[in-house]
Amino acid sequence: MEFGNLEGLEPVSPNGQYFSSDVITLSVLAVLEFEIPIIDAESQTMSLLKNVFLPISPRFSSIMVENDGKKEWRRVEVKLEDHVMIPIFPSNLSPESYDQYLEDYLSRLSTERYPQGKPLWEVHIIKYPTSNAAGNVVFKFHHALGDGYSLMGALISTLQRADNPSLPLTFPSRQRSESKKRENFFVTKIFSSACNTISDILWGISKTLKEDDLTPIKSSNDAIEFRPSTIATMTFSLDQLKSIKNKFGVTLNDVLTGMIFFGTRLYMQEIDQSSSTADCTAMVLLNTRLMGDYMPIEEMIKPNSKMPWGNRFTFLQVPIPNLTELSNAEDFIRHTHKMIKRKRNSLAAHFTSRLLEIVNKFGSREASSRYIHRTLKNSSMVISNMIGPVEQMSLANHPIKGFYFLVPGLPQGFDITIVSYMGNVRLAFKMEKGIIDPQKLKSCMENALDMIVKDSNKNPNLNN
């Protein structure tokens, strides 16, 4: 059943349209890991979806329709039983065996299209114990519904604090750290930003036209988004990462990104020495909202909200430094800090957004999608991150011991997502199956962090 006429329907945002085309279709998978076995999951989940989840946003009860060449949201009747799946695996296997079943399930889920005529979300309840959890619940959202910030807000609305459900979940501050020195002259800033913008625009266009070198993290295969994937995760102490951040005088994202770049280069060198100088680019996704804490959903959906619902992000094209350019782990952190700071101060990312709008207006939505697809395909990796709660969450009285997210549909074979939760930072790697060795990659990431810690401890009072 459909509600309303075509007139007056809410339009799908430009980013939502770019990511729901025949060229590229992106999703978000959120994997919740439970401390205790999942009991009576279906009835409790149905109740939460009906009474809490669906009222959050009309988009969860809508499908996309075409109207005069533009996509819009149309309300429909939601049959919850069509959106909740409980897979059946073989019984009485070891947690290690179920690890593989879960990985294979997530891999298949990543490549499956959404059914026609149904709202673009699903819930998958996996009752079997793995090495990390007594059970898992997987939320799958189409990226047209919203970006990570929006969907995190929606997900949090269905969860409660495990220690005291009457209290709200809290989050670390999202304020950007400020430099201690603010004496730069305004004219110098403007000139530097203009030069960086021109340079970054030209470099970005060249990377859209020219593909990265083939390396141990990038294959020559086409349609990678439809190929099987390997999924692995790692957990790091947030306090340890903050200690490194403070000693180097950089941001937490600088530490994480620098560690990822360094660990990736160590892996590439271990697999193929000649790849240590290969041309590699990372696409780093950025939230374009004003920095601040997560807002209640009712505030996000207001017309003039400072932290609005939707797809409000862009990406930075960042060259991955090679091991011959930098001599140690500290250099990787500092170089990453300078690169990302420069890219943020440049207007190249805004130029990309404006270019897509122009292509969409005078060309077609498909042309914009092809531009995005080509840019992503030509790169070697994508990095995105979100901030999770400080306190432990629970779903239907089932405490959540950990969670991570994935972004299926990206047209290259190495995607890294980052989320903080309960004093830890979780990295999830989605890799083209058979191309990247997950155990060796994780070992290289651990070695990278060990070397970064060692360098940061050389001078306990090190700071910028």
Q: Are residues 227 and 294 in the same domain?
A: yes
Q: What is the dihedral of CA 328, 263, 210, 356, to 10 degrees?
A: -110
**Do 463 and 249 contact (CB within 8 A), yes or no?**
yes
**Is 424 part of a structural domain of the chain?**
yes
The Cα–Cα gap between 320 and 96 comes to: 34
Q: Are residues 236 and 97 in the same domain?
A: no
**Is 404 part of a structural domain of the chain?**
no
The Cα–Cα gap between 170 and 147 comes to: 20
> pLDDT tens, 69-113?
778 999 999 999 999 999 999 999 999 999 999 999 999 999 999
pLDDT given at position 369: 85
> Can you read off the two tokens belonging to residue 409?
């549909």
The Cα–Cα gap between 331 and 343 comes to: 18
Least Cα distance to 419 among 395, 394, 452, 383 occurs for: 383
Q: Exposed, middle or buried by CB within 10 Å (0-12, 13-18, 19+), for 165?
A: exposed
Mean pLDDT of 184-190: 45
Q: Are residues 139 and 281 in the same domain?
A: no
Least Cα distance to 407 among 115, 156, 147, 220 occurs for: 147
> pLDDT tens, 34-51?
999 998 767 888 888 999
* Strands laid side by side in the 398-406 sheet: 84-85, 121-126, 135-142, 27-34, 398-406, 393-395, 160-161
**Do 144 and 17 contact (CB within 8 A), yes or no?**
yes
Q: Are residues 246 and 137 in the same domain?
A: no
Q: Are residues 255 and 356 in the same domain?
A: yes
**Is 277 part of a structural domain of the chain?**
yes
What is the band of 300 on the pLDDT scale with cuts at 50, 70, 90? low
Average pLDDT taken over every residue of the chain: 84
Q: Are residues 291 and 365 in the same domain?
A: yes
**Is 393 part of a structural domain of the chain?**
no
**Is 119 part of a structural domain of the chain?**
yes
Q: Are residues 423 and 373 in the same domain?
A: yes
**Is 461 part of a structural domain of the chain?**
no
What is the band of 302 on the pLDDT scale with cuts at 50, 70, 90? low
Q: Are residues 154 and 192 in the same domain?
A: no
In terms of residue numbers, what domain contains 330? 186-387+416-456
Q: Are residues 196 and 323 in the same domain?
A: yes
Inform me whether the pLDDT recorded for 213 exceeds 50.
yes
**Is 5 part of a structural domain of the chain?**
no
- Say which CATH number the domain at 39 has: 3.30.559.10
Q: Are residues 14 and 57 in the same domain?
A: yes
**Is 395 part of a structural domain of the chain?**
no
Give the residue with greater pLDDT, 202 vs 459.
Answer: 202
- Say which CATH number the domain at 228 has: 3.30.559.30
pLDDT given at position 450: 96
The Cα–Cα gap between 159 and 165 comes to: 9
Q: Are residues 114 and 220 in the same domain?
A: no
